[in-house]
Amino acid sequence: MMRNRHIFMSVVMFCLLISAAPDYLFAQLNHYEEQLIKEKILNDFHILIDTWKEELYFEMYLLGNGRSKSILSQGEFAQRMVDLQWKPTLSPLRNETVQIIYRNFAAIHFDQQFENKVNQTDTIWKRMVFSTILENKTWKFDLKQLINIPYEGRIVDPVEEEKKAEQTKSAAEKAAQQAPGQAQGQAPGQLPGQVPGQAPGQVPGQAPGQVPGQVPGQAPGQVPGQAPGQAPGQVPGQVPAPGP
């Protein structure tokens, strides 16, 4: 129920942002602008994560966007964060990517390892997406999303994912080493469509050395349609002439 409400409020905030945004926010970014914005977003995001790791919840509150701060007081936010059973470990983030939606609105995709506050040997990795909005030249974050961390993202297994990535890479390298135009399982030098062991130009099912169009079992040089043992030029059904 809480998660559905959070998603609904995020959609409403996004719609309000679009309706109130000036035209310049929708302008296409060039490569240089995009790189500068991404660097600024990641810089502010890392400040949030580092503050979170040190459990400085009052300082984290200052990094929240205006809408979420109007809903949560600083004391309420800090208490909700203290009550959480999990916090980020000191391990660096993985698979960080920034998706710029508008000049003042973006999404950050990342993998974060969490540890249990009581039993720090109990850890999990989660794949998450944080939204961020530009306010007063600083990228701010949704405080409601932070207090709902147990319901955010999905659990992942980095070891299993690395194993799958290695298998995919190995299969791609194997395919790249295969001769261009050569079908899967085709022997080197074998023509496309050729049956293994069949001579080039040989019809499937034709015996080696058999002339194309020659009936199986027909002697070499025998005219097609001529019965086995019939002399060349002999009419079918005609008795062979007696010898001298």
Domain boundaries, the chain: 29-158
pLDDT of residue 158: 82
Angle formed at CA 107 by CA 103 and CA 124, multiple of 5 degrees: 160
pLDDT of residue 60: 97
Give long-range contacts, CB 8 A cutoff, 24+ apart: 60-65.
60/143, 60/146, 61/143, 63/138, 63/140, 63/141, 64/140, 64/141, 64/142, 64/143, 64/146, 65/132, 65/133, 65/135, 65/140, 65/141, 65/142, 65/143
pLDDT of residue 152: 87
**Which SS3 state, helix, strand or coil, does residue 184 take?**
coil
pLDDT tens digits, one per residue of 74-133: 999 999 999 999 999 999 999 999 999 999 999 999 999 999 999 999 999 999 999 999
CA atoms within 13 A on the CB side of 60: 26
Superfamily of domain 29-158: NTF2-like; domain 1 (3.10.450.100)
